[in-house]
Amino acid sequence: MKRGAGTRGVTLVELIVAIAIIGTGVAGILAVMEATTRRSADPMIMQQAQLIGESYLEEILQKKFYDPDTDTVCPAREATRAGYDNVCDYNGLSNAGALDQLGNPVAGLESYNVAATVSSAGVALGSVNNADGTVRVLRVEVVVSHATFAGVSVPLTGYRVNYNCNLAADPGCKPL
């Protein structure tokens, strides 16, 4: 068959090159979309972890500085979370799955792990410290992590101050 001057066509080589270029471009776009889709839940998981941590921290900081049963700082921890009545009861708390203040699991938050630490040693908040043997300030640290997403770890720190203890001679000051 004769090709005329006005006839245009695509050779087999040109067609294969065009398919290869288009295929490479589509593969690149799909790779970006796949990575974006895979990571689209990360901000939600980080936000949820932060909200869980804030909830735990608020719960802890609202408890009494001293144990109301023994009137001492950091006695032995209560048996169950529902019985926690002072800040130090939360020291060493480790929950697999977020729990409410009574210790009941919260539906949909089973993949989050929560750990809390309460300490008085070496803690200072401005000029308020525990240097003379009386406990005036406690540091509370809550860390929320996710069981599936290893990179998720949200640490939060708060301080609980004994407002009844200004001088070592104050009746509200108690040793640890």
Whole-model pTM above 0.95? no
Of 87, 94, 80, whose CA–CA distance to 57 is shortest?
A: 87
How high is the pLDDT of residue 70?
Answer: 85
Q: Regarding predicted confidence, which is higher, 48 or 126? A: 48
Give the model confidence (pLDDT) of 50-105 as tens digits. Answer: 999 999 999 999 999 888 888 888 888 888 888 899 999 999 999 999 998 888 89
Which of residues 6 and 110 earns the better pLDDT score?
110
What Cα–Cα distance (Å) separates residue 160 from each residue in 25, 31, 70?
A: 57, 49, 19
Q: Domain extents for the chain?
A: 10-40, 41-161
Q: What count of other Cβ atoms lies within 10 Å of the Cβ of residue 121?
A: 8
Tens-digit pLDDT profile for residues 96-142? 999 988 888 999 999 999 999 999 888 888 877 777 777 888 999 99
Is 29 strand, coil or helix? helix
Distances (CA, A) of 34 to 26, 27, 37, 101: 12, 10, 5, 39
Judged against a pLDDT cut of 70, whether residue 170 lies above it is answered with no
